[in-house]
Structure 1
Amino acid sequence: MNNDAEKRIMLALQRRRLLRWRIGAVLSFIFAFGVLVLPTSIKHKSTISTPHIARITIDGIIGDNVSLQERAIYHAAKDESVTGLLVIVNSPGGAVTGGERLHNAIERFASKKPVAVSMGGLGASAAYMLSAPAQHIVAMPSTLTGSIGVILERYDFSPLLGRLGVSNGSIISGDMKNQTDPSVALSPGGRDMLQGIVHDLFDQFVTMVAQGRHMTVEKVKSLADGRPYTGRQALALGLVDELGTEKNARDWLKHRLNITSATYPVCDIAKKENARKFFGIPYKAVIGTFLGESAARRFEMASTIDTLDGPVAILSW
């Protein structure tokens, strides 16, 4: 093969590679636009009017913005066709405020109708907080739950900035105003202030668990050093009521409601019916296909982690 022919072949291959890269870049842009910009269609209410159990799923890291789930639970509480609530939990926890809002919504529902929780692999910290008001909590023997506690992360980058010749010259109105700023060294007074916030949030968490699980505050505090428990350990400690799966939680609800029908309907609420899509395919499925399921889960969690800018109740794992 002469040199001219080889050059033409190499040029054709380079053009083909360049075309592939350009197509990939365009598709990536369209995909990112679809994920980050295009709206998501949400179903807040049950789609049937006959008596049924409402089911809501709480999975992944819990952010501050839980309005979708919160509204769905409130709607279900007022819906006369909803006879009970089944909460599916698989979460390490998250924002204290998000957990508190869901706790309050479930507590309000439980004051009118029965609630059962089914925990998957995780039902810890803020996820346990929201589960506490339920009349019945089911966990797998291997579920990690509990982890009752609060953490407020506060990094100190001031030594590093000092070595770079950068100093913080902020003008503040009071000594505590900049104590959450990682570019400023934490003073003893600032540490005491932040510790006081954590203690107060912890006391609120303990009270929620004590009320929901019908325990004394002292009993809850003896279990609340932040450690997680397996489902089997949690059962022995009174933090959950039964070991099993979602079926056990459904069966408990049906027994509580005196339902004998094997086909009694369960309807999902707070469901994203038309999730953000890429050419009609849910973005999570696209990422999972090309990068694997673990990448898809990390991508989904990333958008939630951005909301965790304050105290959190989360199991670090």
Structure 2
Amino acid sequence: MSLEPDLLADRRRLRRRLGLWRGLAILSVFGAIALLATLRGQDSIPGGAHVLRLPVSGFIAEDRRVLQALDRAASDSSVRALIVAINSPGGTMAGGEALHAALARVAERKPVVAVMGATAASAGYMVALPAHRVIARESTVTGSIGVLMQSFEVSELMERAGIRPQVLTTGPLKDQPSPFRPLTEEGRAALQRVIGDLHGQFVAMVAAGRRMDPARAQEVADGRVFTGRQAIEAGLVDAIGGEREARAWLAAEREVPESLPLRDIQTRGVAERLVSSAAEGLMKSLFSEWLGVDAPRAVWQPSR
């Protein structure tokens, strides 16, 4: 009489084990597929005529895979046009410059339209400049043409705590800026020359990209932000709208049919993008913008 319950219990245990192994097998298959997609970079451009879209979001830094994907797109005959979808407050000057140059290479061979989302400021505006058409929402925050270098100085606080740093340098400007002592007049002047040179590069990009008189470009390059409507009046944006208007302009002006499929450039796997976005947002916000000494940046920072 006891055999049947024992047999049923054994069968249940066996089913649970089989279910566990089946689940692990399914997860392994999906994991292998995801790994293969990641290793391949997901940066291949599908065949067949299409319009390519490059999402530019978050903090802009130099990304070799994006630059390579854009260079491939420039020579790919199946890519009829490129839409740059921007939602970014900016990034490093070097990152914005690299992406600007790559987009300019694409624009030499194919139509490029920049579509601004909620924010396209500073380096986020810089990457729109190579486009043949720049479109923004009425409420888009854009502009903020300028360069920022930040540091902090806690020498007074350290003195109160009885802490005296010992710093050895090879020259009087090597530790400028430094958290351990105030900027010297010589150090401030040297850093201001660097910022001035970088700002001049940015202004030149604006003048060339918007076909604007350099003096006028200098006027709007004082760091202020504009709404989309204000940016049209300032000559920084061409039209109000979104991707629908971008496709309509491409069809009317560049004979790129609206019926062509729109495909995103993907250079990273889903998991990698999620982890990278979360980590980058935290680290950049906490260390680069609040606490640390960073490279010169073209980034919009609202007053705190």
The aligned residue for residue 312 of structure 1 is 297
In the TM superposition, 1:230-245 aligns within 5 A as 230-245=227-242
CA distance in 1, matches of 2:97, 2:271: 26
Task: Tell me the CA shift for residue 310 of structure 1.
Answer: 0.8
Structure 2, gaps ≥5 residues long: 1-34
CA distance in 1, matches of 2:119, 2:85: 11
CA distance in 2, matches of 1:39, 1:96: 33
Q: Deviations over 1:153-184 (max 9, x none)?
A: 02111111121122232121111001122112
Structure 1 range deviating more: 51-60 or 248-257? 248-257
Task: Tell me the CA shift for residue 307 of structure 1.
Answer: 6.5
In the TM superposition, 1:115-264 aligns within 5 A as 115-260=112-257, 262-264=258-260
TM-score, normalised with respect to structure 1: 0.77
The answer to whether the 8 Å contact 1:83/1:113 transfers is yes
Aligned length: 262
Q: 1:283 to 1:193 in 2, by over 3 A?
A: closer
Q: Deviations over 1:236-282 (max 9, x none)?
A: 1110000001111122223233134x4211111134343249xxxx6
Identity, % of aligned positions: 38
Q: 1:276 to 1:112 in 2, by over 3 A?
A: closer
Q: 1:130 to 1:39 in 2, by over 3 A?
A: farther
Task: Tell me the CA shift for residue 209 of structure 1.
Answer: 0.8
CA distance in 1, matches of 2:80, 2:222: 37
Task: Tell me the CA shift for residue 74 of structure 1.
Answer: 1.1
Task: Tell me the CA shift for residue 298 of structure 1.
Answer: 6.2
In the TM superposition, 1:49-88 aligns within 5 A as 49-63=47-61, 65-88=62-85
- Secondary structure class of the residue paired with 1:275: helix
CA distance in 2, matches of 1:92, 1:272: 21
| Equivalent residue letter for 2:250 | L
CA distance in 1, matches of 2:95, 2:101: 10
- Secondary structure class of the residue paired with 1:57: strand
Structure 1 runs, 4 residues or longer, greater than 4 Å off? 297-300, 303-308
| Equivalent residue letter for 2:110 | K
CA distance in 2, matches of 1:181, 1:119: 37
The aligned residue for residue 44 of structure 2 is 45
Which of 261, 266, 271 is equivalent to 1:275? 271
The answer to whether the 8 Å contact 1:90/1:123 transfers is yes
Q: 1:158 to 1:40 in 2, by over 3 A?
A: farther
CA distance in 2, matches of 1:163, 1:179: 22
The answer to whether the 8 Å contact 1:133/1:212 transfers is yes
Structure 1, gaps ≥5 residues long: 1-37, 285-296
| Equivalent residue letter for 1:60 | G
| Equivalent residue letter for 1:316 | Q
CA distance in 2, matches of 1:39, 1:170: 49
CA distance in 1, matches of 2:283, 2:73: 27
The answer to whether the 8 Å contact 2:81/2:256 transfers is no
CA distance in 2, matches of 1:177, 1:40: 45
The aligned residue for residue 4 of structure 1 is none
